[in-house]
Copies of this chain bind each other. A is one copy, B any other.
Amino acid sequence: MAQLVECVPNFSEGRRPEIIREILAQIVQVKGVKLLDHSSDPSHNRSVVTFLGDPQGVKEAAFQTVKKAAELIDLDQHQGEHPRMGATDVVPFIPVSGVSMEECVDMAREVGKRIGTELGIPVYLYEAAASRPERKNLAQVRKGQYEGLKTAIKEPDRHPDFGPAELPRAGATAVGARPPLVAYNINLDTDRVEIAQTIAKAIRGSSGGFPSIKALGIRIEETNRAQVTINVCNYREVPLHRVFEIVKTEAARYGVQVLNSEIVGLTPMEALIDAAGFYLRLENFAEKQILEKRIME
C-alpha cells in the first residue's frame, strides 16, 4: 500500500501573493509530492497550504517551505488578526493512508530537529508529537505570540524542543502530528437554530461530549435551515456514522428530521469506507480489496 501523508503548514503572509508563490514553488519541485490547495486571508495576513505525498517527499517539501518563509517573512513587520509566532507558524503532519500516527510523530521530530539545527529557528513539538502534556495544545505553545515569546522563550518552561532559546525574525515554529480532520455538516429539516445548538452541545468535547468533536449550531441563510456544523478531529475515535446517528436520534427527540449531511473539502477514503462497512455490516473487509488501492501499491 502506498504511504500517504498530508501536511498543512500555515504561513504568516496573506497579502503579498509573490511571497506565497515562492513558498509554493518549494513544494511543487519535490518529487512524489502534490500541492492540493492553498488559500490566503488578507485580514489574518496568513496562508494555509495543503500538500500530500510519500513521507520522504513531504518531509523535504515541509523543510524547504519553512526555509523559504524564513528568508522572505519578517515577523517584526507582520500584523494580522490571527495569532502567530513564526514566519511558518505551524507544520502538522497528518497520516492519510498506510502510515501510522507514530510515523507522523517521527516525521515531526525529524523535520523539527532539522529546522532547529540548520535554520536556527526555535521549534516546539505539539499535538500528538508534543514532548510534554502542556504542549499538546497549540494555543498554550503560542501563548504571548511572537512579541511575547521574545522574552518568554528564555524561561526554562518555554525553551523550544529544537533550535536556540532565542527568537530570530522568522519567529518560532510549531511542528506536530495530528489525525486528519473531516469537516462534516448535518442539515436539519427545521429553521429552529436552537435545536442545532442543543445537539452541537451534546456531541462536542467542550461540553462533555466526544473529546475529538467540535460542533456548533448555526442557521444557513440560503435555505433557512438549522445546521450542526462539525469538525470530526479523529474519525477513528468517532466515525462519521456515529456522529450522523447520534444527531439523528437527538433531533428526533424534537420531532425534527435529519435532511442530509455534507463533507466540506477533503477526506481520507477510510472515513467513508468505514461508514459503508458499518451500515452494510461488512465482515472481514480489507482495504486491499479496493481496486484503486491496488494500483497505488
Contact = CB atoms under 8 A, between A and B. Distances in A.
Copies of this chain in the oligomer: 2
B263 A295 contact: no
Interface stretch (A100-108, A146-154, A208-216, A277-285): A277-285
A203 to B, nearest CB: 15
A260 interface: yes
A56 interface: no
B290 A272 contact: yes
A267 B290 contact: yes
Contacts of A297: 34
A268 B240 contact: no
A29 interface: no
A289 interface: yes
A43 interface: no
Given A187-B283, A275-B279, A296-B296, 6 more contacts: A2-B295, A241-B279, A261-B280, A266-B289, A276-B276, A292-B296
Interface of A: 2, 4, 6, 34, 36, 52-53, 96-97, 180, 187, 240-241, 244, 258-263, 265-269, 272-273, 275-285, 289-297
26 contacts: A4-B291, A4-B292, A4-B295, A6-B291, A34-B294, A34-B297, A36-B291, A36-B294, A240-B280, A241-B279, A260-B282, A260-B283, A261-B282, A262-B284, A262-B285, A263-B282, A263-B285, A265-B289, A267-B290, A267-B291, A269-B269, A272-B276, A273-B273, A275-B276, A276-B276, A295-B296
